[in-house]
Amino acid sequence: MADLSTCPPLTRASVVKAHNLIRPFIHRTPVLTNRTIDEVASTSRTAEELKGTPWEEAKPANPTLRLWFKCENLQRIGAFKARGAFHAVERLKREPGWEAGGGFTKGVVTHSSGNHAQALALAARTAGMPAHIVMPKISAAPKVAATRGYGANVVFSGSTAPERLAVADEVIATTGGRMVPPYDHPDIILGQGTAGLELQAQVAEAKAAEATSTGAPTAFLRAPTTAPKPTQNPGLNAIMTPCGGGGLLAGTVLSAQGTGIRVFGAEPSFGGADDCTRGLAQGKRIEAVSSLTIADGLRTPVGVHNWAVLTGQTPDSNGKGVDGVYAVGEDQIKAALRLLLERMKLMVEPSSAVPLAVVLYNEEFRKRVEEEAGPEGWDLGIVLSGGNVSLEGFSKLFPSEG
């Protein structure tokens, strides 16, 4: 990666610059809405539905929510990770001495079994440099094939983090390539934040179009109902993203600086994958996660740089970080996946469905919306982080009942 001393400050202005840098290489993915899911999210759960949950004795929350889905499952390589990878590579290309030092020959190195592997392979190929990707031997064959399909040299390792890092160090020593980590670096964070930047602009554009439209709704807009009130929020009240290593969530926090938009994270609770939720409660970053949650993209602990952003410890944050992180169980993630498929015809990977699951089933978050938003409710952006799930893998989540 670029030397930390040369990295831009972790601010919204830097996210804007990152977006200008990578715009030629990424898709401006669509933002979709769905009235049926809005109605489900804005309907109180029954006492029966709350039985066996931490909120069994509580009065069911009754929030009003209008959801806007940023479809990063339609991004290049099928995930938001393309944003960070392209930003990292483009920054390296502009590093003084990179070309003279043989950077285009030595290339880049990373360790990943999933979306970052494919994203860096594509970004490196586009830039005309090699990519050496360390992947665990147990990596899914389609992901290995996709990474190789983008031109990367795949090197296999053991499945544990120390084993992957050891092989990556060997590859770096052999090739002279530069390490591009999956999430724990300012350049990655800033690149991922461009999704939040786009989402904010797209919702503002859509709401402005709604206010003046007299025709039928499009796939991207709700039908206009009544003329907007002069005080009506012109854009989003809040954004929620999944949280694994924290690159997307931290970047989204930066993208919302100074806008008044709240930012929330969503995690699976299974097997301790809710490390950010627990870490924020304890006031200390949790350094290790060992979970087999179906949301396999969220099995990593939050990175050091990412944690600093989320807790408002960066120099330009003014103490403002993420507004909260909430967790949900495996069955709730599956229910959200099913709803996205059946109602929006979107097949996404389980990690992508975690924010919607929080919105629908985490009563703590739902109560917060009800209390802070009141009857007017919130326009809430949800980042669908990726869609790299095979048909076989998806079907295993919903086995036949026959």
**pLDDT tens column, 42-62:** 999 999 999 988 899 899 999
Q: Does residue 255 carry a pLDDT above 70? A: yes
pLDDT at 214: 54
pLDDT at 225: 41
Over residues 168-175, the mean pLDDT reads 96
- The tally of CA atoms less than 13 A away on the side-chain side of residue 87 is 32
How far is Cα 391 from Cα 394, in angstroms, rounded to an integer?
Answer: 5
pLDDT digits over 295-321, tens only? 988 988 999 999 999 999 999 898 999
How far is Cα 381 from Cα 33, in angstroms, rounded to an integer?
Answer: 10
Over residues 128-143, the mean pLDDT reads 89
Q: Is 52 left (phi over 0), alpha (psi -120 to 50) or beta?
A: left
Q: Does residue 158 carry a pLDDT above 90? A: no
Nearest Cα residue to 18 out of 26, 242, 301: 26
Over residues 136-160, the mean pLDDT reads 89
Which residues make beta-bridge pairs with 219?
A: none
How far is Cα 375 from Cα 34, in angstroms, rounded to an integer?
Answer: 20
Among 88-92, 134-138, 199-203, 331-335, the range scoring the smallest mean pLDDT is 134-138
Over residues 238-266, the mean pLDDT reads 97
How far is Cα 151 from Cα 142, in angstroms, rounded to an integer?
Answer: 14
pLDDT at 289: 87
Residues catalogued as catalytic: 81, 113
Over residues 84-88, the mean pLDDT reads 97
Over residues 334-343, the mean pLDDT reads 96
Residue that has been written with the tokens 């699951």 in this structure = 357
Q: Find the farthest-apart pair of alpha carbons in the chain and give their distance in angstroms, rounded.
A: 67
pLDDT at 226: 39
Q: How many CB atoms lie under 10 A from the CB of residue 126? A: 17
pLDDT at 213: 65
Ordered domains of the chain (ranges, CATH): 12-79+186-397 (3.40.50.1100), 80-179 (3.40.50.1100)
Q: Which residue has the higher pLDDT, 373 or 290?
A: 373
Q: State the SS3 of 233-302.
A: CCCCCEEEEECCCCHHHHHHHHHCCCCCCEEEEEEECHHHCCHHHHHHHHCCCCCCCCCCCCCHHHCCCC
Q: Mean pLDDT for the chain?
A: 91
pLDDT digits over 191-249, tens only? 999 999 999 999 999 988 877 765 544 445 443 343 334 334 569 999 999 999 999 99
How buried is residue 119: exposed, middle or buried, by Cβ count under 10 Å (0-12/13-18/19+)? Answer: buried
Q: Does residue 396 carry a pLDDT above 50? A: yes
How far is Cα 359 from Cα 324, in angstroms, rounded to an integer?
Answer: 13
How far is Cα 195 from Cα 366, in angstroms, rounded to an integer?
Answer: 24
CB 128 within 8 A of CB 134: no
**Which residue pairs, CB below 8 angstroms and at least 24 apart, start in 113-116?**
113/138, 113/139, 113/140, 113/143, 114/139, 114/143, 114/296, 114/297, 114/388, 115/77, 115/78, 115/79, 115/80, 115/81, 115/297, 115/386, 115/388, 116/81, 116/84, 116/85, 116/182, 116/183
pLDDT at 233: 54
